Amino acid sequence: MPTNTISADNNQLQSFQGQNIIIIGGSSGIGLAAAKRAKDAGANLFLVSRNAERLRKAAEAIGGATQIVADIAAPPPAIFAGLDRIDHLLITAGSVNLQSLKDQSETDLAKVMHERLIGPLLAIKAALPLLHPASSITMTSGQFASRPAAIGAVVAAAVAAVESTVRALALELSPMRVNAVSPGWVDTPLLDGLMGEGKRQVLEQTASTLPSRNIGRPEDIAQAILFLMVNRYMTGEILHIDGGGRLV
Ligand SMILES: NC(=O)c1ccc[n+]([C@@H]2O[C@H](COP(=O)([O-])OP(=O)(O)OC[C@H]3O[C@@H](n4cnc5c(N)ncnc54)[C@H](OP(=O)(O)O)[C@@H]3O)[C@@H](O)[C@H]2O)c1
């Protein structure tokens, strides 16, 4: 391995020592992979999600984290009570329920927008007094923003709205930096629910159509997230980590 790769990685590892990182959605998949990477790099982790038992297991798996039970669709105003500083706020929370518009009620549509957009904005608002000029916020969009599925219009709209929000907040909250990752297909528990028993076969078939010829791992997205947290010249950006999926 070339020396400069080692030193770049060491710089990234050193830069999280003692920092407070909140991960809303940190008990599984991409959020959990980011939590593990940040923990290994010396950060203090605060994991937020709805299920206390899953949070406990995730905290144990990464070697310790403060656990906060909350629903991002309706975050309690005091969600960050007890914290005195937030260095990086990451939001990966989100479920995907792809349905035709004809099958969706007004409540179904509103739920998606609350989980993906309104709730994250309220969480960011609640975090503002604890964030500082060198803090970063990282949100999560998704490939459906540019390559929608044949069903799930509101999911496509919600993730596209996240991308516009990131650009607007990068201006409003400057000099704090605000970015998003936009994952393509990533093999996480989310896809177990979406694809069921045929998941392995669907993913193999999907991989064969992608320019990268492989499916994302949670660690691939986590690496990009930590890059967005540390790079002081990166803001208002949507980083696509999708194996080139939006191009084909
Ligand atoms: N995997 C992919 O292929 C893919 C592709 C594009 C975009 N994304 C997006 O990337 C993000 C992370 O996905 P993932 O694959 O890592 O999913 P995952 O493995 O299902 O993890 C989702 C995490 O978010 C939490 N969560 C879900 N809904 C929540 C809510 N309403 N309030 C609080 N926490 C909530 C979950 O915990 P609880 O359920 O216990 O609350 C879990 O910790 C999602 O927004 C997803 O849409 C994923």
Rg (CA), the chain: 18
pLDDT digits (tens, 9 = 90+) for 40-50: 999 999 999 99
The protein residue whose alpha carbon is closest to atom 46 in ligand 1 is 94
For residue 20, the surrounding DSSP H or E stretch is strand 20-24
193 CA to centre of ligand 1 in angstroms = 11
Query: From the centroid of its chain, how far is CA 21?
Result: 13
pLDDT exceeds cutoff 70 at 13 = no
| CA dist., res. 193 & res. 195, Å (int) | 6
6 CA to centre of ligand 1 in angstroms = 31
Contact, 27 vs 58, CB < 8 A?
yes
192 CA to centre of ligand 1 in angstroms = 12
pLDDT digits (tens, 9 = 90+) for 62-94: 999 999 999 999 999 999 999 999 999 999 999
Strand partners, 240: 182
Which residue in the list 28, 49, 135, 141 is annotated as catalytic? 141
pLDDT exceeds cutoff 90 at 9 = no
Residue 94 Cβ contacting ligand 1 at under 6 Å: yes
Residue 143 Cβ contacting ligand 1 at under 6 Å: yes
pLDDT digits (tens, 9 = 90+) for 194-228: 899 999 999 999 999 999 999 999 999 999 999 99
194 CA to centre of ligand 1 in angstroms = 12
pLDDT of residue 2: 37
pLDDT of residue 193: 87
For residue 46, the surrounding DSSP H or E stretch is strand 44-49
Strands 88-91 and 20-24: parallel
Query: Which candidate, 75, 67, 17, places its Cα nearest to that of 42?
Result: 17
Q: Is the dihedral of CA 130, 131, 134, 137 positive or negative?
A: positive
Residue 242 Cβ contacting ligand 1 at under 6 Å: no
Residue 195 Cβ contacting ligand 1 at under 6 Å: no
49 carries an active-site annotation: no
pLDDT of residue 14: 56
Structural domains present in the chain: 14-243 (3.40.50.720)
| CA dist., res. 176 & res. 131, Å (int) | 8
pLDDT exceeds cutoff 80 at 5 = no
